[in-house]
Chains A and B, each alone.
Chain A
Amino acid sequence: MSVSYSAIGWNRAKKAYDKVIVTGLLVYLAFFIGVSLLAHPDATIETLLIRALATAAFLMLHVILSIGPLCRLNPSFLPLLYNRRHLGVTMFLTALAHAVFAIVQFHAQGNENPLVSLLTTGTGFQTLGAAALVIFFLMAATSHDFWLANLGPRVWKTLHMGVYFAYALIVMHVALGALHSEAHPVLAIATGAGMAWLFTLHVVAALRERAGDRDDELIDDGWIDAGPVVDISEGRARIVSAGERIAVFRYDGKISAVSNVCRHQYGPLGEGRVIDGCITCPWHGYQYLPGNGRSPAPFTEKVATYDVRVVGGRAYVHSKANAPGTPVKPAHA
């Protein structure tokens, strides 16, 4: 966007979302520590704090990793996606607090520098946790739109896919540490169930996505049949595929086609709506004018446009993309 950056771009929805995150986290910590003190009166409070923060962060990580595939399976989860970044940063801060308390508790007040102690006391599980924390830090530190713009969506997304590697490190951190010392099976069951849930979610969502990736047939010099115009709901799109996905929108008695890929975080524009004359991305609400693929002023994003025509009540889109921002005369539906 070519508007000035803010520190944190809050709006009403994000504030409400953040309130839920903080409330949930505080409720979790209060219950964990409170119930622990009742059930295990001799437990040391520092140990409880370390474990409360650890399990809270671990649970948050599962929620974060679930949001993506859940949204692909059912758009009613999209409100969770909208502010997922804040959830991620909160998870990092919780994990950081856990790490600081653990390092102080187990390594400080000794005869060695605590960080040196962390690396040399031969406990592999702690090093795995530290490595994951570095990844979470890099993700949190680059979660602002400034980084998205200056690293570019491709590099930014690759960096943030590191969350999966970090998740694997954390599972091993839990397995080699807590599970190794845990007498009760619940934590192991929960960790296993979490892995199974995430794995299943991702596989199911991936299979659904694959189904949509089959290329449509090209006819007549590169045109694709996008089907009867009446089959495209007002303000919505039909997505076709020719190497990449194309969103064919119907609005105000017209047909236009743009790239299905939003410039912001590669969201599926074809699953969006036309609102106030603008194609609106379902993920974060980025907008583009259907006639030329440009964001309305003062924004400067552009997506590729495609030539369209309507013949005999059917919409056709040409598979060759025009340069982003190229105006294309809409076809009459």
Chain B
Amino acid sequence: MPDTFYVGYLETSPATARRLKRVALALIVLAGAAATVLAIATGPFDRATYEFTKERSWEGTLEATPLPVLIARTPAASGSAYSALVRLPLVAQGKHGVGAMIAGLDGASVRFNGKKIVRQGTTMLEVVPGTIERFEPSLPPDGTPVTASRIEDLGSAKFSGEIVDSKCFLGVMNPGRLEVHRACAIRCIAGGIPPMLFTRDAQGREAHLLLVDANGQPLNDRILGFVARPVTIEGRLERRDDLYYLYAETWARH
């Protein structure tokens, strides 16, 4: 009876060698198949992007409170007498808020290079260090007058959702939310990235509410324990142009 006793350091019999080659091939094919299944059947991945290789030039008015934001004009829509304003929240590189980068520039007209972070109607800019400068704004080339920022108080409200760090969530990481991302969100918010409540409206559409405390001050350190877990926040909702701010009074896990 042929003996197929395997001794690793001796010459393998041709029959065993053939069998082992087949097993090896099968295992490699299985590896590819497993990878394919696991790669497809997973989620969530959200529609959000980050132009990490592309620096663009941006201009507008800088607003530092309640949160650092660039107020920029979009080109006037046809038939409109005014250019619309859009608000672009600002962050620095890495897990840091802009902080000192914009010292003394509140209300100024500024120009800088930045990278675009976009998710479902909210655009954020990562400011490239050393590129911020003041400049004198000229009249818009097409002659349309510059509109003033529109600030609307939408009253008290209660929202349930997830507190995320706006930078990762809006596109720098995908998925930039949930438990696996929680540590990073905590690190980002602790470093000054504006926290945001990710929630859905009655129609199931995404809403992004920038979070500050009842007095419009940063509340980063106070909400670290509530990040990336289901939470309910009560406060005053405000809309400035196209951006929502929630002046949070109370927040609790649920």
Contact = CB atoms under 8 A, between A and B. Distances in A.
Given A117-B187, A181-B179, A110 B34 contact: no
Interface string B26-59: 0110011011111111111111111000000000
A23 B175 CA distance: 30
A328 B26 CA distance: 47
Interface string A120-134: 011101100000000
Interface in A52-69: 52, 55-56, 59
A31 B41 contact: no
B36 A24 contact: no
Nearest to B46: A42
A115 interface: no
Nearest to A105: B184
B19 to A, nearest CB: 8
Contacts of A35: 35-36, 39-40
A76 B4 CA distance: 8
A44 B173 contact: yes
Nearest to B119: A42
A79 B42 contact: no
A288 to B, nearest CB: 14
A34 B190 CA distance: 34
Nearest to B97: A111
B147 interface: no
Contact of A186 (B19, B38, B93): B38
Nearest to A111: B191
Interface string A227-254: 0000000010000000000000000000
A177 B180 contact: yes
B7 interface: yes
Interface in A141-188: 176-178, 180-184, 186-187
Contacts of A182: 42-43
Contacts of A107: 183-184, 187
A49 interface: no
Given A32-B38, A183-B44, A121 B6 contact: no
A121 B187 CA distance: 8
Contacts of B172: 44
Interface majority SS (helix, strand, loop, mixed), chain A: helix
Given A47-B174, A79-B8, A184-B41, A27 B32 contact: yes
Interface string B1-27: 001111111101000100110001001
Chain A contact-residue range equals: 35 or more
Nearest to A273: B5
Interface stretch (A91-99, A208-216, A261-269, A277-285): A277-285
A84 to B, nearest CB: 11
Nearest to B17: A16
B73 interface: no
B181 interface: yes
Contacts of A16: 20, 24
B14 to A, nearest CB: 14
A89 interface: no
A14 B8 contact: yes
Contact of B174 (A42, A83, A187): A42
A32 B35 contact: yes
A14 to B, nearest CB: 7
A109 B49 contact: no
A29 interface: yes
A235 B179 CA distance: 59
Contacts of A201: none
B183 A118 contact: yes
Which 7 A-B pairs have CB atoms at the shortest separation, nearest pair first? A109-B94, A181-B178, A31-B35, A110-B95, A186-B41, A35-B39, A106-B184
23 contacts: A20-B28, A28-B34, A32-B39, A40-B43, A40-B174, A43-B174, A44-B173, A44-B174, A51-B42, A52-B35, A76-B4, A78-B6, A107-B184, A107-B187, A110-B94, A110-B188, A111-B192, A122-B186, A125-B179, A177-B179, A180-B180, A184-B43, A285-B8
Interface of B: 3-10, 12, 16, 19-20, 24, 27-28, 31-32, 34-50, 93-96, 172-175, 178-184, 186-188, 190-192, 225
Interface of A: 11, 13-14, 16, 20, 23-25, 27-36, 39-40, 42-44, 46-47, 51-52, 55-56, 59, 75-76, 78-79, 82-83, 105-112, 117-118, 121-123, 125-126, 176-178, 180-184, 186-187, 190, 235, 272-273, 275, 280, 282, 284-285
